[in-house]
Structure 1
């Protein structure tokens, strides 16, 4: 009887997880598998047609191309810079909400932090373009106050891309850090101060290490999608600072070379996976991961 109840409970559990599992398989695994299969196809130059068959030529071609390697390196570097800027700005906000804001007002603050999600990502990128253009808000203030006599060129720069992406992904970084800070036992901080530690040293030795899982989660949440961001480099960067997603778009849609574009996509995903794995290994003492 007990075994029968266990089997019934197991079937009920499988029935509950089956719909989300199938949905994930459909919307995530199927497109990735399609890209992987396409990356091994042939492409008939001049005909724009595909030929089935296994080949590694697409991968040889892209990794032998210095332009692709340079764009891939730029994408990783820009995404890493965005991650650092976003996490550094997000941590004080999350710390303030967790340790300074009264408990009954924390929900309001979290609500305010998520307000940017109310508008489309594309609209937010266009707003940053308006802010940073030559006759935009920033230059108008600088010229009006006499700080500069000529408008600054801020669009079509790495700084503009970093600022736009950091603003767009800031809530994604604030929330996991806030959750990690909320889980810290306040008695540990009081014990540190009772033992004669200053607030700064208590933060450095207790708060920051205990918050590192949230910081690492925030860094990965920001880093992984920004590597493949297409809209911001195209609009804010003006197409002059292309990243890997823009390069893939040219192959997929501009040249209709789906095998080569798929090979670029798979290579970019592998590069991001390797960088993320290295980052996790370097921080395994904070995540308590045994290798």
Structure 2
């Protein structure tokens, strides 16, 4: 006899074990399928990294030359550091601009909250490439920004410094991932107990003190989640640097894509991808430890 979710959750005598088994049964198939697919993809990449490039799909003999070349060539170290720096700036810019938006949604939006949340997610209705091209149009030599500056009389000729720069990459990526930062911070702010804020107000605490001692510490898990959600994918982004960045904006994702594409050296590209994944993992672990030590302690 089949049992519906409503009946299981509504049974007053249902034990904690039954509830856990029901939750496990609901989540296990999707979690298992996702884990198998992710682990399989990672396994293939790791396997390829230790193969020689003989033109076949899975490479030739086993070798460590791919990792040696990637770790000893200063070019790749420079590009990885540049990628981490750009991703860090994108994360900082995104979180700093997303927090006030999430704060307004959580505490001041009122009946307009649903509409504003819809507007926040509206850019996802369009293609990521279209959003990148839109920024390219804005920042181009004869683009919207240069036209506005010349019309206002601020400049007499177009400025070349807007497009094909690391700043253009940071601005474009920060806009592309804005919603990814706003939503987790908003959820964290929604969970701030209003009773604590009311108690602090009754005791005469100023708004700045309430924010600094109550709201910000409780919302830090959401801030950390937003930072990681933005940082991890931006490190390996290769579309945005290729479209709005210049030679000084090349990121490691572009070099990995080139190895799998024009260079047709999948093993070396896989080795680069593994190294980047390990670097990102190290950064995430350090950030998590720092958060536990100095941050939210959750």
Q: Can you give the 5+ residue segments of structure 1 that lack an aligned partner in the other structure?
A: none
1:213 maps to what in 2? 221
Aligned length: 281
1:164 maps to what in 2? 172
> The residue matched to 1:278 in structure 2 has which SS?
helix
1:280 maps to what in 2? 288
CA distance in 1, matches of 2:100, 2:166: 24
CA distance in 2, matches of 1:137, 1:59: 45
1:135 maps to what in 2? 142
> The residue matched to 1:283 in structure 2 has which SS?
helix
The 10-residue stretch of structure 1 (27-36 or 167-176) with the greater mean CA deviation from structure 2: 27-36
Q: 1:11 to 1:114 in 2, by over 3 A?
A: closer
1:182 counterpart = 2:203? no
Q: 1:190 to 1:80 in 2, by over 3 A?
A: same
CA distance in 1, matches of 2:101, 2:42: 36
2:154 maps to what in 1? 147
Q: What does 1:1-291 correspond to in 2, within 5 Å?
A: 16-44=26-54, 48-49=55-56, 51-102=59-110, 104-153=111-160, 154-238=162-246, 240-285=248-293, 286-289=295-298
CA distance in 1, matches of 2:125, 2:187: 22
Q: Is the 8 A contact 2:217 2:296 kept in 1?
A: no
In the TM superposition, residue 280 of structure 1 has moved relative to its aligned partner by 0.8
In the TM superposition, residue 191 of structure 1 has moved relative to its aligned partner by 2.0
C-alpha deviations, 1:67-124, integer Å up to 9, x for none? Answer: 000000000000000000000000000001111111x321111111100000000000
In the TM superposition, residue 20 of structure 1 has moved relative to its aligned partner by 1.2
CA RMSD in angstroms, aligned pairs only: 2.2
Q: 1:52 to 1:287 in 2, by over 3 A?
A: farther
Q: 1:204 to 1:7 in 2, by over 3 A?
A: closer
Q: Is the 8 A contact 2:185 2:223 kept in 1?
A: yes
CA distance in 2, matches of 1:195, 1:9: 42
In the TM superposition, residue 21 of structure 1 has moved relative to its aligned partner by 3.1
C-alpha deviations, 1:117-141, integer Å up to 9, x for none? Answer: 0000000000000000011110000
Q: Can you give the 5+ residue segments of structure 2 that lack an aligned partner in the other structure?
A: 1-14
The 10-residue stretch of structure 1 (173-182 or 10-19) with the greater mean CA deviation from structure 2: 10-19
> The residue matched to 2:53 in structure 1 has which SS?
strand
2:9 maps to what in 1? none
In the TM superposition, residue 175 of structure 1 has moved relative to its aligned partner by 0.4
In the TM superposition, residue 156 of structure 1 has moved relative to its aligned partner by 0.6
> The residue matched to 2:261 in structure 1 has which SS?
helix
Calculate the TM-score normalised by the size of structure 2: 0.88
CA distance in 2, matches of 1:245, 1:140: 32
The 10-residue stretch of structure 1 (118-127 or 277-286) with the greater mean CA deviation from structure 2: 277-286
In the TM superposition, residue 53 of structure 1 has moved relative to its aligned partner by 3.4
